[in-house]
Structure 1
């Protein structure tokens, strides 16, 4: 297969536009919701999620959405979404065909995206299948609880399919095959990261051949269709953010590349954006081939950080600053483009970013916050919590949060930050290192090193947070905070493009406080004149 075109940005829609209009949604309403966010942006390829387990069309191999419970739904949202789909079917309309036609009219290539093992079942267990109500459940899952992972994986994903079973692999293949053959897509994506729990824990690497079995079978179909059509039929695959974790889950990426089983490789987090995607490693694996690499964003860069958001910008602005920074890092690493997942938007809400992050040139001179990535496993990975285990395979090299402990030799955590802007070509107005230290109090002594040099010009400012329960009007009462920002202004030569280190040492802890000082954020804010 020849190398895919340069898409700049790939936009994955999860199907939600079916639920964005009152029942019965018209086709024009639907198409406006689908393409409004993408039109006149840097998006050159649209990946349309055709569904999870049931079909949004009259299928020869799958149940149709709504059939499992006789078109009686679990809630209002599910009713609106699925009855809008059924209304189109009843009117003899074909939303997939219309999506392809409209995308081509707008100059985009359009791919089908198939979620290979989606689990939005809310932590359900195999024992719940016979009685639970969920529109994507399907009779196959209800009647064959022995085909799900059960206690062989983290409890939240217990009713995910177990691809050990040939019947499961056959079902996933037939789904992909029907989608590929029925419409004139430019390609198809196997979204293995929705969700990356396919095999019993710790068997992913050893049993990676069973996932390759499906990948190879779909490749045979796309090769056949390409030959019949006389033009390429591309195959994309969304995998984990690092080769190591891809292998651990069961994605034999090296074999897929060597055997020509993939045309577009999309390394991405399984739950929220993983800023630490190993772009350079994946590019090295693809060297000498026509495989393109598109690292992927999720809904927001810092994900669950919003539950303990520390600013100092408002959440929307900070996410924009972080998104630009991560996109700049991926471009600097040599990525072929960028992939957007779960970027739900109307015509305007994501437009600015979608006209910036697809190119180094349009990112130049825009404000950014380069930052250490957060590891979530401890905070959001325990049994009984929503999405427990979802973060296990992401952000493995997250450097914060980290408690500061006293050491014998002046050691402390050393954080690496990559600054991806050319500060000679575009001179910033301000470059500031920002360290957030939770539980810092008077009497604590902190040393900060930038690129190995101790800095005496670091200043401390309290992070003021009011008691919102007792002070709901958010009037400023406190003059002291339970956390502080440690700030260091840098010049462009000190913060030149490339990797920099920040070492933080607890030299002395106030003996009257037993809690740890915790370094939660390490950020380099690069600000240009007249922007934001």
Structure 2
């Protein structure tokens, strides 16, 4: 029997296929688009987003999707997506059960994925609430602005629920009860990372007992369902990618594990991929448990693309490197979130990232993690709890003892067993000019004779011979580069005397090319 330890890849669909066909989408077309990316890949489980705040099934206690505005929509995308759901219901069809049935026919487990505090309200504030036209808005939210975080959190997330309010938690628990009891899912995911703003600022750690209490109630529900059906009903939770991040947000993961409140643990970034998830730390927490560990990927790593490869190539290489690192650290498998795809666009990754052996001899890009913050514009504040220990970018300054920032790069490939065609360690320096003197060290040995290429951010036909950033590339001997941790240090020896700006180290990458 399939179990969470054997999924290889968990694929989270956010429900987008409802919007991939014009009105009226047929059930067959909807299911074909939903499962096309998954069939004949390493995916063993589909986590299906069942909506955010309004339900997508008839309910006596919960508001139905699009009722708040009488099925009048704010834009064409909301109309297509939501009306396709509503018209299926009007025809007497049930897309939730249909998703489950098709998944079971394909031999997959299918979970309901409940977003615990989703906020796609585009930065709207409390003052906007009564005039806001948004399909996922509910009358409950409009009637009770005092139940929302408002100015007590990041501005963009002002309309997020305050989970300290008992009525809010009862609403979320009722949503959970209905989705679990009404359908034949194999389990349910509590997606706490969509979005991780649950309490007033600086209170989350002290209020973590509140979310633990919710987890206990959820576990009681899943156990009741399991007993009634005579089959397992699994509980998954998506949390922050680091122990510190979990504590900052209010996830007492240690207690959840100790009290056996979860079957599947999914540490992941909340906004973009976190390529430095603390798999080892989470693995230690569950060492004496049967909990499955699936570190998560999002649609991409946030921040500007720096090349020299095109972004699609970089994404594939970086994803494979990070996935192999996670397997090496003891991950059960890989969790894919926001990998919107048709049959072919993500097939290579979904056929490789779930197993260590299928990642061998694949081109990879290992990189040092960035600390990325979005302070203005859309999604400002969303990255607050992600990549807390991102070591780049960092300005290089002269020091008394001729030292600089040092970094640890974990190599998961065995380059002696599988020798690559070439191995390159490269450093990107912003505002570098000829005359700057920088020392690069790998495992305390100086690297010499770099090839220097100006960075044109992926432009294949640059019109200039120079740019304001340059890659310093070093050929590395694979024989001297075993799997494991490698220490890197970068030291500024002398800055060009005519430059007043900082010399900034923005990227460190190890590129492994097998072909």
With the length of structure 2 as denominator, give the TM-score of the two structures. Answer: 0.98
Alignment-derived partner of residue 361 in structure 2 = 365
SS in 2 for 1:520: strand
Q: Does 1:278 align with 2:278?
A: yes
Alignment-derived partner of residue 333 in structure 2 = 337
Kindly provide the CA deviation profile for residues 81-118 of structure 1, in whole angstroms up to 9, marking residues without a partner as x. 11000100000000011101100110100000000000
SS in 1 for 2:184: coil
Q: Distance in 2 between matches of 1:477 and 1:245?
A: 44
Structure 1 residue 481: Cα displacement = 1.9
Selected match of 1:428 from 416, 420, 440: 420
Alignment CA distance shift 1:464-1:123 (3 Å): closer
Kindly provide the CA deviation profile for residues 173-209 of structure 1, in whole angstroms up to 9, marking residues without a partner as x. 0000110000000000000000000011111111111
Structure 1 residue 385: Cα displacement = 2.2
Alignment-derived partner of residue 146 in structure 2 = 146
Q: Distance in 2 between matches of 1:476 and 1:52?
A: 45
Contact 2:307 2:456 in 1 (8 A): no
Q: Distance in 2 between matches of 1:350 and 1:391?
A: 25
Q: Does 1:462 align with 2:457?
A: no
Kindly provide the CA deviation profile for residues 8-62 of structure 1, in whole angstroms up to 9, marking residues without a partner as x. 0000000111000000100001001100000000000000000000111112221
Structure 1 residue 465: Cα displacement = 6.4
Alignment-derived partner of residue 165 in structure 1 = 165
Alignment-derived partner of residue 468 in structure 2 = 482
Alignment-derived partner of residue 29 in structure 1 = 29
Structure 1 residue 4: Cα displacement = 3.2
1:241-252 aligned at under 5 Å gives the runs: 241-252=241-252
SS in 2 for 1:170: helix
Q: Does 1:522 align with 2:508?
A: yes
Kindly provide the CA deviation profile for residues 271-314 of structure 1, in whole angstroms up to 9, marking residues without a partner as x. 001011111111111111111111000011x22x2xx3221111
Alignment-derived partner of residue 43 in structure 2 = 43
Structure 1 residue 152: Cα displacement = 1.0
Alignment-derived partner of residue 199 in structure 1 = 199
Kindly provide the CA deviation profile for residues 337-376 of structure 1, in whole angstroms up to 9, marking residues without a partner as x. 1100010000000001110101011000000000001111
Contact 2:441 2:447 in 1 (8 A): yes
Selected match of 2:481 from 491, 495, 504: 495
Selected match of 1:321 from 297, 317, 324: 317
Alignment-derived partner of residue 399 in structure 1 = 391
Report which stretch shifted further, 161-170 or 510-519: 510-519
Alignment-derived partner of residue 308 in structure 2 = 312
Aligned pair count reads 514
Q: Does 1:133 align with 2:109?
A: no
Kindly provide the CA deviation profile for residues 489-522 of structure 1, in whole angstroms up to 9, marking residues without a partner as x. 0111222111112211111111111111111110
Q: Distance in 1 between matches of 2:415 and 2:230?
A: 47
Alignment-derived partner of residue 287 in structure 2 = 287
Alignment-derived partner of residue 442 in structure 1 = 434
Alignment CA distance shift 1:161-1:20 (3 Å): same
Alignment-derived partner of residue 414 in structure 1 = 406
Q: Distance in 2 between matches of 1:73 and 1:480?
A: 50
Structure 1 residue 475: Cα displacement = 5.4
SS in 1 for 2:201: coil
Kindly provide the CA deviation profile for residues 61-94 of structure 1, in whole angstroms up to 9, marking residues without a partner as x. 2111110001110000000011000100000000
- Structure 2: which 5+ residue stretches go unaligned? none
Contact 2:307 2:455 in 1 (8 A): no
Q: Distance in 1 between matches of 2:378 and 2:218?
A: 33
Q: Distance in 2 between matches of 1:116 and 1:242?
A: 19
Q: Distance in 2 between matches of 1:294 and 1:194?
A: 17
Contact 1:435 1:486 in 2 (8 A): yes
Contact 2:448 2:474 in 1 (8 A): no
Q: Does 1:510 align with 2:496?
A: yes
Q: Distance in 1 between matches of 2:249 and 2:461?
A: 49
Structure 1 residue 480: Cα displacement = 1.8
Alignment CA distance shift 1:150-1:94 (3 Å): same
SS in 2 for 1:103: helix
CA-based RMSD of the aligned residues comes to 1.4
Structure 1 residue 455: Cα displacement = 1.9
SS in 2 for 1:493: helix
Q: Distance in 1 between matches of 2:206 and 2:511?
A: 43
With the length of structure 1 as denominator, give the TM-score of the two structures. Answer: 0.95
Contact 1:270 1:394 in 2 (8 A): yes
Q: Distance in 2 between matches of 1:398 and 1:494?
A: 27
Alignment-derived partner of residue 471 in structure 1 = none
